[in-house]
């Protein structure tokens, strides 16, 4: 019995998919990358943008055609808007919320798929109104031997007008800090080198359980102390924070502990205060600017990533130019730029999408080129330096490896070195491009190979 699982969307869906895999393999299923040989076909969907949900409809149409010639069970979970869920109910055999994952074996059994292993699968009881806790109680089947994602929170209370997450994942629920630290400790002991703490708004961690749970800064401190006590070298990241809840204490803690990676992803979305108000972002550019100043002061070596939406309803040329000015001011190392598209369920869906598609494309191009001017300057300053690099894959160019610096800048290494996969090594940076670096492995690694 084999299963095939497709994961769309963000890192949270990736983390969820690892728990889905754990449940299915406990039932006796074996994972396959070839969907044509699978008996069970599943997807973790993302309704947050139109493109991923279009992929869902295209794929289920194909799978349902296959049912004419062989027995299949199909299922779907993930971030699904109510409007999409209503349509998908008729097309998938099983549809469930991630909080219902512990019940997935029973759902599959109802389709007559039973084996000895599935009968012995333990039933996980979930607290009333906090079913997501039961999901976190499932030990994941990690997709990598050196990189892992650790959920610390689910849902969001911010209700940005462009965003559907509160309607797909619900309100914020913080995972018990003891569980989080235990999972990180387990990963470190297993030799993991890159660990990312996940949540829709990580720095509001604990606010839903005031007096019962620690703050995000305190959680980072506990993990930092864990790192100090360990002989292992590893980097801990987090995503995504919200500027409203980001404070100087968090930045001070990151500066204090070596294992807390010196890379911060701080979504800006727009550089214009009026657009931010319309987005219901709950932060001003003055607030955002102060956070960046604190980062530059306390962690001058940190790289800074962001998210930006172009063409949001009401974004005129003046507002867009304010965003261009912000990119020039903050000199981001990476900006994930998206053209606004209305999503059913989000508040802005009711408003006119009044920025022309061609204008959106032009603005996206302009921002991308503006960002590249700054990333190129930053990257060129690294040429000649020796940096720590996590080797994470084979490069598309034959004979080369890929890696990431602590600041998550891609490095093409000068030879293919499978023996170094998943290790943090020294690399001398030899050249720079707009969005990446090239480097050569230290002589010590070449000597080891010889």
Residue 14 domain-assigned? yes
- Supply the pLDDT for residue 314: 96
Q: Is the dihedral of CA 147, 150, 156, 158 positive or negative?
A: negative
Boundaries of domain holding 397: 386-449
**What distance in Å separates the CA atoms of residue 322 and residue 333, rounded to the nearest whole number?**
19
Q: What is the CA radius of gyration of the chain?
A: 23
Task: Give a yes or no: residue 290 inside a domain.
Answer: no
Q: Is residue 360 part of a domain?
A: no
Q: How many residues comprise the chain?
A: 450
Element (H, E) at 320: helix 317-330
User: Could you tell me if 412 and 395 are in contact, meaning their C-beta atoms sit under 8 angstroms apart?
Assistant: yes
Among candidate residues 97, 119, 141, the one where a domain is terminated = 119
Cα distance between residue 274 and residue 366, in whole Å = 21
Tell me the C-alpha to C-alpha distance, in Å, between residue 432 and each of 215, 263, 378, 439.
39, 19, 9, 9
Q: Quick check: 201 and 241 in contact, CB under 8 A?
A: yes
- Count the neighbouring beta carbons within 10 Å of the beta carbon of residue 69: 7
With 0-12 / 13-18 / 19 or more C-beta atoms within 10 angstroms meaning exposed / middle / buried, residue 141 is: middle
Task: Please count the structural domains in the chain.
Answer: 2
Cα–Cα distance for residue pair 438/395, rounded to 1 Å: 11
Q: What is the DSSP string of 369-382?
A: HHHHHHHHHHHHTT
- Is residue 216 included in any domain, yes or no? no
Give the pLDDT score at 444.
63
CA distance 272 to 402: 37
Residue 306 near residue 336 (C-beta atoms within 8 A)? yes
Last residue in a domain, options 119, 143, 161:
119
Cα(359)–Cα(283) distance, rounded to whole angstroms? Answer: 26
Distance CA 310, CA 269 (A): 8
Tens digit of each residue's pLDDT, the chain (450 residues): 899 999 998 888 999 999 999 999 999 999 999 999 999 999 999 877 778 888 999 999 999 999 988 889 999 998 888 888 888 988 999 998 888 899 999 999 887 543 434 333 333 333 333 456 667 888 999 999 999 999 999 988 999 999 888 888 888 999 999 999 999 999 999 999 999 999 989 999 999 998 899 999 999 999 999 999 999 999 999 998 999 999 999 999 999 999 999 999 999 999 999 999 999 999 999 999 999 999 999 999 999 999 999 999 999 999 999 999 999 999 999 999 999 988 887 899 999 999 999 999 999 999 999 999 999 999 999 999 999 999 999 998 899 999 999 999 999 999 999 999 999 999 999 999 999 999 999 766 654 444
Q: Please report where in the chains the tokens 């034959």 appear, as a residue.
A: 398
> 66 in a domain, yes or no?
yes
Chain segment 162-218, per-residue pLDDT in tens = 988 888 888 899 999 999 999 999 999 999 999 999 998 999 999 999 889 999 999
pLDDT of residue 109: 86
* CATH code of the domain containing 24: 3.40.50.12160
Residue 134: predicted pLDDT: 66
Asked whether residue 306 is assigned to any structural domain, the reply reads no
| pLDDT score for 281 | 95
What is the Cα–Cα distance from 303 to 376, expressed in whole angstroms? 13
CA–CA separation, 261 vs 80, rounded Å?
A: 32
The count of other CB atoms within 10 Å of the CB of residue 150 is 24
Strands of 175-326 (E only): list them. 194-198, 235-239, 263-265, 303-310
Q: Which two tokens stand for residue 431?
A: 């050249």
CATH number for 409: 2.40.50.140
Please answer whether residues 382 and 411 qualify as being in contact, where contact means their C-beta atoms are separated by less than 8 angstroms.
no
Cis status, amide bond into 240, omega within 30 of 0: yes
Buried b (16+ CB within 10 A) or exposed e, 224-237: bebbeeeeeebbbb
In a domain, 71, yes or no: yes
Last residue of a domain, one of 57, 90, 119: 119
Does residue 103 belong to any structural domain of this protein?
A: yes
Tokens standing for residue 365: 């191009």
**pTM above the 0.95 mark?**
no
């Amino acid at each position: 019995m084999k299963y095939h699982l497709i994961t769309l969307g963000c890192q949270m869906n990736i983390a969820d998919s690892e728990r889905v895999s754990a449940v299915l393999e406990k039932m006796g299923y074996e994972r396959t990358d070839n969907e044509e040989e699978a008996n069970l076909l599943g997807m973790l969907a993302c309704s947050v943008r139109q493109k991923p949900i279009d992929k869902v409809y295209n794929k289920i149409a194909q799978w349902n055609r296959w049912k004419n010639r062989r027995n299949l069970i199909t299922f779907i979970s993930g971030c699904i808007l109510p409007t999409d869920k209503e349509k998908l109910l008729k097309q998938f055999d099983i549809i469930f919320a991630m909080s219902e994952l512990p019940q997935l074996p029973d759902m599959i059994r109802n389709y007559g798929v039973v084996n000895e292993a599935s009968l012995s699968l333990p039933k996980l009881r979930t607290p009333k109104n906090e079913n997501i806790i039961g999901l976190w109680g499932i030990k994941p089947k990690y997709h990598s031997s050196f990189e892992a994602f650790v959920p610390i929170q689910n849902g969001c209370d911010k209700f940005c007008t462009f965003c559907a997450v509160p309607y797909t994942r619900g309100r914020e629920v913080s995972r018990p800090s003891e569980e989080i630290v235990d999972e990180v400790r387990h990963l470190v002991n297993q030799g993991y080198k890159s660990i990312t703490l996940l949540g829709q708004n990580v720095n509001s961690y604990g606010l839903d359980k005031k007096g019962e749970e620690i703050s995000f800064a305190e959680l980072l401190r506990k993990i930092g102390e864990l790192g100090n006590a360990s002989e292992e070298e590893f980097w801990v990241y987090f995503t995504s924070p919200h500027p409203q809840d980001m404070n100087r204490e968090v930045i001070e803690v990151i500066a204090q502990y070596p294992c807390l990676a010196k890379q911060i992803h701080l979504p800006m979305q727009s550089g214009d205060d009026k657009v931010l108000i319309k987005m219901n972002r709950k932060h001003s550019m003055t607030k955002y600017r102060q956070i960046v100043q604190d980062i530059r002061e306390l962690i001058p070596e940190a790289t800074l990533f962001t998210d930006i939406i172009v063409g949001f309803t009401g974004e005129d040329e003046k507002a867009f130019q304010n965003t261009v000015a912000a990119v020039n001011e903050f000199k981001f190392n990476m900006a994930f730029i998206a053209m606004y598209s209305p999503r059913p369920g989000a508040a802005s869906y009711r408003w006119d999408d009044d920025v022309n598609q061609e204008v959106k494309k032009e603005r996206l191009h302009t921002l991308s080129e503006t960002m590249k001017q700054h990333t190129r300057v930053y990257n060129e300053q690294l040429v000649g330096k020796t940096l720590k690099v996590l080797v994470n894959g084979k490069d598309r160019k034959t004979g080369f490896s890929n890696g990431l610096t602590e600041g998550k800048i891609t490095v093409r290494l000068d030879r293919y070195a499978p023996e170094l996969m998943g290790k943090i090594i020294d690399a001398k940076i030899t050249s720079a491009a707009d969005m990446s670096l090239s480097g050569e492995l230290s002589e010590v690694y070449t000597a080891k190979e010889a």
